[in-house]
Structure 1
């Protein structure tokens, strides 16, 4: 062991000490030297022990190499300590080539230092231990001088130092073991507390479950009572109200006995009251039906231009030239919408009806456009009516709420139109919003998703002489079928079948010129047509014969029609 000269790797490291390892005594000396160097460069106590232990492991590996029968007697194992700017470098020159990458000593040493590099070509191992920031600063010259005063060291001194280190380590282990026992005791106490609390919580959950069961039973009873109530309302109120309205029309109409002005006024008041009550009952029944049965949309392809015009014609206010006009403006890209037509109609009728009620003069405008980015059709109903104060705008969608004001006192309403429209809008997957300024008007914005679905079948042929049925079926099949063709009688249907066999045939059993059974017989004789899936359409189940799925005309619904088509296609594939 000796001091060294300045310099080192890349010219930045300064040599502190070096030692030669020839036997076991040298391993003790190197271990002590490593601990002393670690102390002088500013490493903490635990890190000093780690450096010393790593040197012991590497030293034993070096002795193992020297003990090999093929080892050269003149080969020397040398250990050099150098100080870099922020690390202590320990280079072990093994003197012999050996595969130490996965040796036990190197594996253990990796856990004790920050980095180990094995250079088999140059027969050396480099260990690096980073120095802590703010360490006491000693120059390399001072460190070498102090090391020179402390060495050589006898092996018994090194063994004694190792024993002291081992005793200190055992004491630390004992302290940690005591802390662990105390922690375990605390964990057990906490576990017992949590277990007790969990048992109490479980008892509470059981009690709550029993209470919920009881309340659920009460709710079911209340639901049944409500259903009985609405059934009674439908029969006991609607019937007499319709009778009153009919009698009022008879009394005030041209066929009745002439009434004087006061009598006519009184009769009209009775009629208006009956009509208001009937409208209220109808809206209540619609709301109850929506809550009881849920709202399941049955989307079809809707011509929004036609729908808007139909609503305009039915709701166009009449009055003096300076009264109210109702205009519609539907953009071309929003003219067709795949949506439940009945629900959309009721939403727009309720919104437009409100606009008509509260717009004494000016204009009501329905517009529709496509929001391509959001893939929504945006329908707005804007009026120039009395408007709604800001503090009431959030409440108009609550059931039975009516905005207070002088004009509201003269306008009949139930406060259910907008809440029902909102419920229908949500069922369609859309949104309904209202903005308004008193004295300037109100704008209601309806957003409905532009649903684009991939067709499930290619071409469907509807063979039926009933134009209404063909139109209804075509609407239902929009989006489901890529193409829908029609035939008004059996002969036309056969011509279309031969010209271009469809993927599915909807066949009316009672068509003129060629009945359904005769057409089926012709199809069975033609190899090109015998495999076409068929859904037979009839007025009653008795009118349809054969193995094909049957669709009753009076039961035409989207769900039933698509189910029959799927069944026909499955049967065809099975055959």
Structure 2
């Protein structure tokens, strides 16, 4: 719908076009600020037509088919056209006359913009501004009628109105600038507060890191100091219960069993606390090997055989079928199962605890399951089972004791290996704990497949091999001496690092068992001295310690040719691994000529 046409032949017509644009914007109910924008664009485009083409015409239309309706202003001329139009519209054109600045500015002020220019045909610029959606046909008729009755204003009045608009715009800009200054000041104050807060948080985080490091160091130190005497108590109790030094009265046997059980419970708590501290400190390493599930089940069966003291409970290990070799951390998988089995035995008064493994080739995992016929767990309590220090209450559970860390550590170890744990249970319906472990540990480094154990029993040579035990703990020396003597070794013991080093230099030994934490000379220093002397350089050294080693310490000891063995397994009755390693070392030992 055409509202008005203004012909531009002089500066007066440019002012008239601006006035008409402002008038039309008001009649079509555009806000005052939008009317000023339309008038400014019309004035700029009309002046361009007059300056570069000698004149033109301005059409004011309403496009009623659009939603919402659109006020369309078309400014056309028959001038020489615009060169470099694309460069001008892209904002990259500079002109000493200012040509192109008006087009770019008009494009930003209006809702729609289109320009066509060609040599010989002139230039047509078509811009649009969206109108209020409430505008109807009656409003358009009234606007057209008012435009026909109202003559254009004189240039002086138009100039005054324009000046007034400029003053109002300047005032609005000044007010806006003041608000921006106030907001910038607030942001600056806020930034200073945030910087101070970050500094305080960083300081607290550093203190927390230091406290966590101190906690980990303390737990590592205390675990060694606590576990050493506990291992001695357990080992000595096992020797007495085996009647190696004579028979016991029934009462003495019962007292030793109680003492052994209490020491075992305390050792389990210490180990759980240490494992938790290592996981939280990010110091738990994954030692990847390739192993068979059946052999791991065999070791677990031997480990738990003396611990199942309830004649009404059977511990059953199902033979794993169609389960391939696993390439992951055997020690952590074994510990997950040990925690599951110990938990099941604790809460099963009669029936059985069944351990099984099932492969899922499609998912690339093995599900290890431990199912019991115990008291079960209510559904409401199952979500808390794998949390740190969580102990589910209820009959038969409150008196069971423990730290509440076994299942939590199992969950963290499973996640460390890329797997997960879960439980299925119900009140008085038994429990099924499971762990889904990937067949291959993610980002597996180079895997060292362990040598298979020699078949059958280790043969005893005619001449008893000489073995040197170096350990500052009297109970540990006594226990190792007793165990090695039963295996037909000739055992010599030294109560410290310096005396042990002197013994090793006095005569040849087939092997040496060495503790690490000794006050006079640490085991690592003794090992270095042994490797430095020609007479002892080839002696196999087995490190037997309860000390927790970090990767750097393990690597250093292995680089010096020592094998590592945990006292925890030894004192738990699992002596097969140590004895097999010792016999293998003795067979390959090369004694220097005397």
Class of the TM-score when normalised by the shorter of the 2 chains: 0.5 to 0.7
Asked whether the 8 Å contact 2:25–2:35 carries over to 1, the reply is: yes
The alpha carbon displacement at 1:433 in A equals 3.3
Pairing 1:277–2:262 present: yes
Asked whether the 8 Å contact 2:424–2:433 carries over to 1, the reply is: yes
Comparing 444-453 and 299-308, the one that deviates more: 444-453
Which structure 2 residues correspond to residues 124-143 of structure 1 after superposition, within 5 A? 124-135=124-135, 137-138=137-138, 143=143
Pairing 1:149–2:139 present: no
Pairing 1:308–2:294 present: no
Asked whether the 8 Å contact 1:396–1:403 carries over to 2, the reply is: no
**Structure 1 counterpart of 2:327:** 338
Secondary structure at the aligned position of 1:451 is classed as coil
The alpha carbon displacement at 1:57 in A equals 2.1
1:50–1:551: structure 2 CA closer, same or farther, 3 Å change rule? farther
**Structure 2 counterpart of 1:22:** 9
1:404–1:300: structure 2 CA closer, same or farther, 3 Å change rule? same
Pairing 1:81–2:81 present: no
Pairing 1:439–2:424 present: no
Q: Deviations over 1:484-531 (max 9, x none)?
A: xxxxxxxxxxxxxxxxxxxxxxxxxxxxxxxxxxxxxxxxxxxxxxxx
Out of 224, 227, 252, the residue aligned to residue 267 of structure 1 is 252
Asked whether the 8 Å contact 1:312–1:328 carries over to 2, the reply is: no
Comparing 222-231 and 361-370, the one that deviates more: 222-231
The alpha carbon displacement at 1:163 in A equals 1.6
Which structure 2 residues correspond to residues 85-104 of structure 1 after superposition, within 5 A? 85=64, 86-99=69-82, 101=85, 102=88, 103-104=99-100
Asked whether the 8 Å contact 1:388–1:403 carries over to 2, the reply is: no
Q: Deviations over 1:67-115 (max 9, x none)?
A: 5xxxxxxxx7333333331223333341334117444343343344333
Which structure 2 residues correspond to residues 409-428 of structure 1 after superposition, within 5 A? 418=407, 421-422=410-411, 424-425=413-414, 427-428=416-417
Unaligned runs of 5+ in 2: 89-98, 456-529, 560-594
1:18–1:175: structure 2 CA closer, same or farther, 3 Å change rule? closer
The alpha carbon displacement at 1:303 in A equals 0.5
Q: How far apart in 2 are the matches of 1:83 and 1:43?
A: 13
Q: How high is the TM-score relative to the length of structure 2?
A: 0.60
Asked whether the 8 Å contact 2:386–2:411 carries over to 1, the reply is: no
Q: How far apart in 1 are the matches of 2:63 and 2:175?
A: 40
Q: Deviations over 1:204-258 (max 9, x none)?
A: 7799689x49x957984x777666654554454543554455345439x9x64xx
Asked whether the 8 Å contact 1:325–1:362 carries over to 2, the reply is: no
Q: Deviations over 1:328-366 (max 9, x none)?
A: 15352x432112222322332342344345445444332
Pairing 1:382–2:371 present: yes
Q: How high is the TM-score relative to the length of structure 1?
A: 0.61
**Structure 2 counterpart of 1:239:** 232
Asked whether the 8 Å contact 1:57–1:108 carries over to 2, the reply is: no
1:228–1:384: structure 2 CA closer, same or farther, 3 Å change rule? closer
Asked whether the 8 Å contact 2:114–2:126 carries over to 1, the reply is: yes
Q: How many residues align?
A: 450
Which structure 2 residues correspond to residues 123-272 of structure 1 after superposition, within 5 A? 123=122, 124-135=124-135, 137-138=137-138, 143-151=143-151, 153=152, 157-178=154-175, 180-181=177-178, 184=181, 188=185, 190=186, 194=190, 212=207, 220=214, 229-240=222-233, 242-250=235-243, 256=247, 264-272=249-257
**Structure 2 counterpart of 1:369:** 358
Secondary structure at the aligned position of 1:163 is classed as helix
Out of 17, 41, 47, the residue aligned to residue 54 of structure 1 is 41
**Structure 1 counterpart of 2:96:** none
Which structure 2 residues correspond to residues 28-67 of structure 1 after superposition, within 5 A? 28-67=15-54
Out of 106, 112, 117, the residue aligned to residue 120 of structure 1 is 117
Asked whether the 8 Å contact 1:359–1:383 carries over to 2, the reply is: yes
Unaligned runs of 5+ in 1: 1-12, 68-75, 471-538, 545-549, 565-575
Asked whether the 8 Å contact 1:20–1:77 carries over to 2, the reply is: yes
The alpha carbon displacement at 1:443 in A equals 0.9
Q: Deviations over 1:244-293 (max 9, x none)?
A: 55345439x9x64xx8xxxx431221121122133234324533553576
1:551–1:175: structure 2 CA closer, same or farther, 3 Å change rule? farther
Q: Deviations over 1:290-330 (max 9, x none)?
A: 3576432211112113322453466567998x974624153
Larger radius of gyration: 1
Secondary structure at the aligned position of 1:330 is classed as coil
The alpha carbon displacement at 1:170 in A equals 0.3
Structure number with greater CO (CA < 8 Å, separation at least 6) is 2
Asked whether the 8 Å contact 1:89–1:128 carries over to 2, the reply is: yes
